[in-house]
Homo-oligomer: A and B are copies of this chain.
Amino acid sequence: MIQLESIGAAAKRAASALANASTARKDAALLSIADALEAHAADILSANREDVEAARASGMSPSMLDRLSLSEARIGGMAAGVREVAALADPVGRVLSGSTLSCGLEMEKITVPLGVIGIIFEARPNVTSDAAALCLKSGNACILRGGKEAIRSNTAIANVMRAALGAAGLDENCICLIEDTDRETATAMMRLNRYIDCLIPRGGAGLIRSVVENATVPVIETGVGNCHAYVEKTADIAMAAEIVFNAKTSRPSVCNALETLLVDEAIAETALPAIAARLKEKNVELRGCPRTCAILPDAVPACENDYEIEFLDYILAVKVVSGLDEAIEHIRRYSSHHSECIVTRDLAAARRFAREVDSAAVYVNASTRFTDGGVFGLGAEIGISTQKLHARGPMGLEALVSYKYVLYGDGQVR
């Protein structure tokens, strides 16, 4: 805890200076970080090998081991990511609006960094450099707390970045890593209001829930995607099959992948077999309501929980609904408000779905897989917000700034 307190204080001090660093200086530091990551790849890989060996010995699953493992190429990718962030426009110091008040005060509303951003993440060490680069570019110090499986890798990466910051003339405490990976330290970090301005958890539903439950620092919830596709009765069935196939199978482990399919009863008899045939190419397991199971003999009966969770796998929950009302009501009840889509040829249905479905991204006749900071034109992305305060959907650099009002006068009183 003493470590945490002193890290918090150091990050806060670094943030004050960084908030007023020029774009040129921040960009130079980012480029020097990218170079240093490549130059010290051997040290990082050696630390990573220890993490991977320990994880394998403790029985980590192959897909998790893959997320944890670095390689020369992956470190090259991390460095390239940092260089991309350097090339983005600086979000700090933009004048959002301005006016002269009736008393003669000249007012400007100007973007400023948030201050110190806490990032709590799980086993992917590349988050260390991705998140730190986005924070640095937006003038924020960051305090990173990764999972214990990756602690040697994260420490090596953070040390390389901190040394590069120092060499570039910035305070190395602009990037801080908490090396204590016990749960108590994470909980204490979530309550460090004196030093941390905003907390962004990056990981699975369990991590997000724990942060929301325990944090007193303001949180931006990210990344839980229970996404729906609704095939309306006028839908082009071939288009529906392509969209569902893409949304479910192009990358099932990500948050914008499809988890539940809703089909209008008026076309279920033809649409469901066509969609199921396409999904069979990837052996997708279908968990259906009784009407779905009556139409599709291969489907297994769904339970309530199947509509509530993210499978993040080749599994899809399916339900036959009576129409648009029931589809919207189902989404309202079960969705994590990330991304949903309707397939339809009916203008009124499309407009009503777009208006009434309350999710970060609502698609008409397109796959939910497009919800992404890069695709949406935001540059790199620090996460996808599923809450409505501050930022919603993919969050780029703009989500990492606040604003202040600056007013110049010549003695005005009220």
Spell out A's residues near B (CB within 8 Å). 16, 19-20, 99, 101, 103, 105, 107, 112, 114-115, 193, 197-198, 212-213, 216, 218-220, 236, 239, 242-243, 245-247, 250, 332, 350, 354-356, 358-367, 369-371, 375-377, 387-390, 392-393, 402-414
Contact = CB atoms under 8 A, between A and B. Distances in A.
Chain A interface SS verdict (over half):
mixed
Most B-side CB within 10 Å, residue of A19, A219, A247, A389: A389
Contact of A405 (B99, B361, B367): B361
Contacts of A193: 212
A388 B402 contact: yes
A389 B402 contact: yes
A404 B358 contact: yes
B362 A407 contact: yes
29 contacts: A16-B356, A19-B358, A20-B356, A99-B377, A103-B370, A112-B388, A114-B389, A115-B388, A236-B411, A239-B410, A239-B411, A243-B411, A250-B414, A354-B408, A362-B405, A362-B406, A363-B407, A364-B406, A364-B408, A364-B409, A366-B408, A366-B409, A369-B413, A376-B405, A388-B402, A390-B390, A392-B404, A393-B404, A393-B405
A388 B117 CA distance: 11
B243 A112 contact: no
Contact of A363 (B358, B375, B409): B409
Given A370-B414, A404-B392, A218 B219 contact: yes
Most buried by B among A218, A243, A362, A392: A218
